[in-house]
Amino acid sequence: MAQLIEVPVTTQDAARLRPHLLPERWDRLAAAGRQRVRTLWHVNSTAAGGGVAEMLRPLIGYGRDLGITVGWLVIEADLDFFTLTKRVDNGLSGVRGDGGPLGAGEHRVYRRACAAAGAGLDAFVRPGDVVFLHDPQTAGLVEQVAALGAVPVWRLHNGADQENEHTTAAWHFLRPYLADAAAFITSMPHFGPAWLRDKPTATITPFLDPLSAKNRSLSPRETAESLGRWGIIETRSSPTDPALRPTILRSGGPTPEDRPTVVQVSRWDDVKDMAGVLRAFAEVVAPATDADLLLVGPEVTGVADDPEAGAYFERCAQQWRRLPAEIRGRVHLVCLPMSDPDAHATVINAIQRHATVVTQKSRSEGFGLTVTEAMWKATPVLATAVGGLRLQVDSPQVGVLVAPSASPAAFGAALLELLSDADRRRGIGHAAAERVRRDFLPDTHLLAELDLVAGLRLEATV
Ligand code: UDP
């Protein structure tokens, strides 16, 4: 039976953000919190794993400290529901996913789960509250939020640069559920069909939290220690901690500390094209360098709303097994448990800092926080020119983009070029961190969200 669960969030001291922000931004942020804002809610489908959960925790934590009343609910439902919403989500990204139908039977599954979950809304949401409903998993709650006299704003995180049969089918499925939405939010202005623009729409990009375990600064020593403890790199100083149990598919030992390392951190999902990175590395980069490749994702049972991860990981594993022995020894498929979120985030932080280059070879990408995270750490990024990655890497000074249609060989060639040019990597890394400071820290997001709420010109609080 589907239900809504409140996620506890600790208030975070917003003033600690100040040294990371552009100077003029802090004053605006502090003033925003003093305005009288309605109670806000965020509803999504998982409290851990994936970009949305990553963002909501600090948004709510800092928001509360600034004086905003804001809470977080997650929808819990069965596998049928998440298989279906994953299909819709893939469609919104313009990809096929599991290729299953989106017909009357699927509407029944979807409606039943949303009705059951929505029945619990009134335990949390009051008339006049503004409820941000994130992604396809929550579109079915729009009507019930409106019926309660609250204000539903539907927030789409993924998106496709071009319409195709998959986007058409997914939007056709969702449209009936969105009729009562007061406003829409997308990560890029061109995401979504034209009819979204019949309502107020805002483009609000995701952001990263510079103080989180994922993004806080780590010294080179802390970085090496973390990677050593997890058994990811071989260091003399930090022995492996047997309590941390990553599943690492590799034929030799950990990667040596001083070896150039290419990294992609992603969910195990075809849209992220880990398999394409593996191929580009094996065909072009490995024969020409002594670099290692780390493909890093969550444990395949770890993300509640991602039932296809296991099958995709297995596909990468098969590809890995077919590699020539010498190259196979330099490719590591790393699955990290999520059971301790802080430890998980810290090792991802360390991996992104340790990387010589971070890739994000996505076929489509709503925004791509993994790229923001690498940029903030001054690690140079090579990514495909899709969705939010184009927005982030808005010039060759802050990263390298390759056309999504480029062959694995062309992606490999760009990777090889970047690996071979230390000066360029340094320049890109430095500029990339400043790019993130300007547009992708919590201040920008919070202010944009409050502007949207103010722009709705809601009647006085009920
Ligand atoms: N992530 C993680 N562990 C992993 C893989 C990904 O913590 O094993 C995090 C990653 O650091 C980022 C988020 O999950 O913060 C992924 O967000 P992104 O926008 O890149 O992609 P999404 O998964 O939302 O499509």
Å from CA of 132 to ligand 1 middle? 21
pLDDT confidence band for 265 (50 / 70 / 90): very high
Greatest Cα-to-Cα distance within the chain, rounded to the nearest angstrom: 68
- Is residue 435 located within the same domain as residue 300? yes
Q: Across residues 392-405, what is the average pLDDT? A: 97
- Is residue 21 located within the same domain as residue 159? yes
Q: What angle do CA 156, 157, 160 make, to 5 degrees?
A: 90
- Is residue 321 located within the same domain as residue 448? no
Please determine, for residue 348, whether its predicted confidence score (pLDDT) is greater than 50. yes
Q: Across residues 67-75, what is the average pLDDT? A: 96
Q: Is the dihedral of CA 218, 219, 220, 222 positive or negative?
A: negative
User: What token pair was written down for 276?
Assistant: 């394409």
- Is residue 157 located within the same domain as residue 177? yes
pLDDT confidence band for 462 (50 / 70 / 90): very low
Q: How far separated are the first and last CA of the chain, in Å rounded?
A: 32
* 54 Cβ closer than 6 Å to some ligand 1 atom: yes
- Is residue 160 located within the same domain as residue 263? no
- Is residue 447 located within the same domain as residue 383? no
Q: Is the dihedral of CA 235, 238, 240, 243 positive or negative?
A: negative
Please determine, for residue 279, whether its predicted confidence score (pLDDT) is greater than 90. yes
In a domain, 159, yes or no: yes
* CB distance 352 to 344 below 8 Å: no
User: What token pair was written down for 2?
Assistant: 């589907």
Q: How far apart are CA 271 and CA 263, in angstroms?
A: 17
- Is residue 303 located within the same domain as residue 226? yes
- Is residue 424 located within the same domain as residue 447? no
184: Cα separation from own chain's centroid = 19
Structural domain including 229 reads 220-439
Average pLDDT of the chain is 94
More confident site: 455 or 323: 323
* 302 Cβ closer than 6 Å to some ligand 1 atom: no
- Is residue 126 located within the same domain as residue 233? no
Q: How far apart are CA 383 and CA 376, in angstroms?
A: 15
Please determine, for residue 104, whether its predicted confidence score (pLDDT) is greater than 70. yes
- Taking the whole predicted model, whether its pTM rises above 0.85 is answered as yes
* 159 Cβ closer than 6 Å to some ligand 1 atom: no
Per-residue model confidence (pLDDT) at position 309:
92
pLDDT in tens, 182-232: 999 999 999 999 999 999 999 999 999 999 999 999 999 999 999 999 999
Q: Across residues 162-176, what is the average pLDDT? A: 97
* CB distance 385 to 405 below 8 Å: no
- Is residue 200 located within the same domain as residue 224? no
Mapped onto helix, strand or coil, the DSSP state of residue 202 is strand
Nearest residue by C-alpha to atom 23 in ligand 1: 50
* Count of domains for the chain: 2
Å from CA of 265 to ligand 1 middle? 7
Q: How far apart are CA 363 and CA 404, in angstroms?
A: 6
Residues in the chain: 462
Name residues whose C-beta falls within 8 Å of residue 157's C-beta, 6 or more positions apart in sequence: 51, 52, 134, 135, 187, 206, 366, 367
Q: Which of 158, 332, 348 to mutate to test the pocket of ligand 1 (most atoms within 8 A of CB)?
A: 348
Q: Which of 207, 266, 362 to mutate to test the pocket of ligand 1 (most atoms within 8 A of CB)?
A: 266
Q: Across residues 162-177, what is the average pLDDT? A: 97
Q: Across residues 155-183, what is the average pLDDT? A: 96
Name residues whose C-beta falls within 8 Å of residue 340's C-beta, 6 or more positions apart in sequence: none
Q: Across residues 417-431, what is the average pLDDT? A: 98
- Is residue 111 located within the same domain as residue 14? yes
Q: How far apart are CA 248 and CA 254, in angstroms?
A: 9
Per-residue model confidence (pLDDT) at position 303:
57
Q: Tokens 């990009």 correspond to what residue?
A: 205
Name residues whose C-beta falls within 8 Å of residue 236's C-beta, 6 or more positions apart in sequence: none
Q: Across residues 90-102, what is the average pLDDT? A: 93
Mapped onto helix, strand or coil, the DSSP state of residue 175 is helix
Per-residue model confidence (pLDDT) at position 1:
84
Per-residue model confidence (pLDDT) at position 34:
80
Please determine, for residue 460, whether its predicted confidence score (pLDDT) is greater than 90. no
Q: How far apart are CA 291 and CA 358, in angstroms?
A: 13
Q: How far is CA 347 from CA 14, 141, 244, 245, in A?
A: 24, 36, 11, 12
Please determine, for residue 37, whether its predicted confidence score (pLDDT) is greater than 90. no
- Is residue 183 located within the same domain as residue 332? no
Q: What is the CATH number of the domain that holds 431?
A: 3.40.50.2000
In a domain, 460, yes or no: no
